[in-house]
Amino acid sequence: MSVSPPAVSDDLIRLQGSKIVAVARLAFGRPDTEFLCFGESDQHSPPGAITALAEALAQGETRYPDVRGLPPLRAALAEYLTAIHALPVPESRVLVTASGMAALAVALSAIVRAGDRVVLHEPAWPNAGNAARLRGAEVVALALDARQDGRFHLDLEKLDQALVGARCFILNSPNNPTGWTATQAELQAILDLCRKHGCWLLSDEVYSRLVYDGSGVAPSLLDIAESHDRVIVCNSFSKTWVMTGWRLGWLIVPEGTRDDMAEIVECTHSGVAPFIQHGGLAAVADTKTLENFRAHCAEGRAITAEFLGALPGVHYASPDGAFYAFIKVDGMTDSVQVAQDLVMRHGIAIAPGVAFGESGEGWLRVCFAVAPERLRRALTRLSAGLSTRRAAA
């Protein structure tokens, strides 16, 4: 007796749907909604990058590129990173990718096999864990400790226990969504633990230039890891240079491994369009956009603290890095429902905390990287919505 194959829709590898998208879909139906639910600014990409891209297109830079990245861009990234970190980053370790997400996917393809154990701290951007699951990994979440004042802490003793038998630890600092930023001492301890357990350390540093202590750059594995360590650092043009839609990122890989990892780029996205890379080359040289955008985010951070810092029933501490407010709301047990209610009743879209893992339940994420007048309008709606909710409780 023959057995019918499963329906096409059931014959797929599936990932859990984005809870942020569930909120956004409601908001799309309300034209007056203020969107603070996505990790994106409303500011413009660098004019020099736009000009460079257009000129490259006009000059016919549309053919297959070196999948490792254009040599001038690799050299510029190496020079840029060497200038801001304690250890030199040679061009031979730079691999250009089609976005920061592509960088993570390529790295995980290189180091993770089916059945491997991958540890990540959460709340966490969900794509990293899902990329590991697509490779058949067992993903183990280690919750950051949430303190009463709204700040977070990574318990190194718990990390030590979690890394037993692990193939990889995924680190994201500065962190999306919490803004937690590891200190240099914490990074050294994390690196030492990964060395101790013989596991890979995959560090997502896309928010590395968005810190608010005056340093201009967050502590990085590139300050302390040796070129032969099992350490891969991912980064992107999306946040630092306000280039989210350009889909341009890079990896810093152990010495001697770039060409092998480039083969994975070859069979996944076959390199990055050369005209986009020319735009990236112009952006790397543009320190003004970087500094202006950090100042813009710092203003948004201050405005957010003004609105939410003393709101009854809300626990919030200004983040050390990234451009999100992650707020705990007393008595909230269904952050998706609350976020949906805020859309429908108050015209404000924010991300539910549970979208970043179970440990994020009870929290909401607000992106403050938008124009000040828009941010104030949105936060007025959010404050009213949370106050109404508290009064009705």
Answer yes or no: are the C-beta atoms of 116 and 133 closer than 8 Å: no
Residue 2: predicted pLDDT:
66
Predicted local confidence at residue 10, as pLDDT? 79
Question: Scanning the structure block, which residue is given the tokens 């710092």?
Answer: 298
**Mean pLDDT per segment of 10 residues, for the chain of length 393 residues?**
74 82 91 93 97 98 96 98 98 98 98 97 94 96 88 96 98 98 98 98 98 97 98 98 97 98 96 98 96 98 94 93 96 96 96 96 97 97 94 80
Which helix (H) or strand (E) is 51 found in, with range? Answer: helix 47-58
Phi, psi of 259 (to 5 degrees): -65, -35
**Token pair recorded at residue 134:** 């697509």
| CA pair distance 337, 333, nearest whole angstrom | 9
Residue 112 contacts residue 167 (beta carbons within 8 Å): yes
pLDDT at 314: 93
Q: What is the pLDDT of residue 1?
A: 60
Architecture of domain 47-285: 3-Layer(aba) Sandwich (3.40)
Instruction: Return the H-helix or E-strand segment holding 204.
Output: strand 200-204
DSSP 96-132: EESSHHHHHHHHHHHH--TT-EEEEEES--HHHHHHH
**CA-closest candidate to residue 366, choices 329, 332, 333, 337:** 329
Q: How far apart are CA 308 and CA 331, in angstroms?
A: 17
Contacts of 180 (CB under 8 A, 6+ apart): 144, 151, 152, 153, 154, 173, 174, 319, 320, 321
Q: Tell me the pTM.
A: 0.95
Q: Tell me: cis bond preceding 174? Omega within 30 of 0 counts.
A: yes
Question: DSSP string of 244-266?
Answer: GGG--EEEE--TT-HHHHHHHHH
Top-tier CATH class for 16-45+288-392: alpha beta
Per DSSP bridges, beta strands 34-35 and 348-349 are: parallel
Q: Which amino acid is present at 212?
A: Y
The closest of 272, 277, 280 to 64, measured between CA atoms, is 272
Tokens of 133: 């699951």
pLDDT attached to residue 244: 96
Residue 18 confidence (pLDDT): 83
Q: So where are the chain's domains?
A: 16-45+288-392, 47-285
Q: Which residues pair with 232 in a beta bridge?
A: 202
Closest residue by Cα to residue 41 from 279, 375, 377, 281: 375
What value, to the nearest 5°, has the Cα angle with vertex 119 and ends 118 and 122? Answer: 135
Q: Give the Cα separation of 335 and 345 in Å (integer).
A: 15
With a CB cutoff of 8 Å and minimum separation 6, the contacts of 243 are 45, 46, 49, 237, 279, 280, 283
| Burial profile 219-230: b = 16 or more Cβ within 10 angstroms, e = fewer | bbbbebbebebb
The conformation of residue 321, written as its DSSP 8-state character, comes to B
Token representation of residue 101: 């997400």
Asked, colleague to colleague, whether 16-45+288-392 and 47-285 share their fold, the answer is no
Q: Residue 147 has what pLDDT? A: 84
Show the tokens assigned to 377.
């309008």
Cα-Cα-Cα-Cα torsion 365, 145, 315, 129, nearest 10 degrees, comes to 10
d(CA 186, CA 233): 16
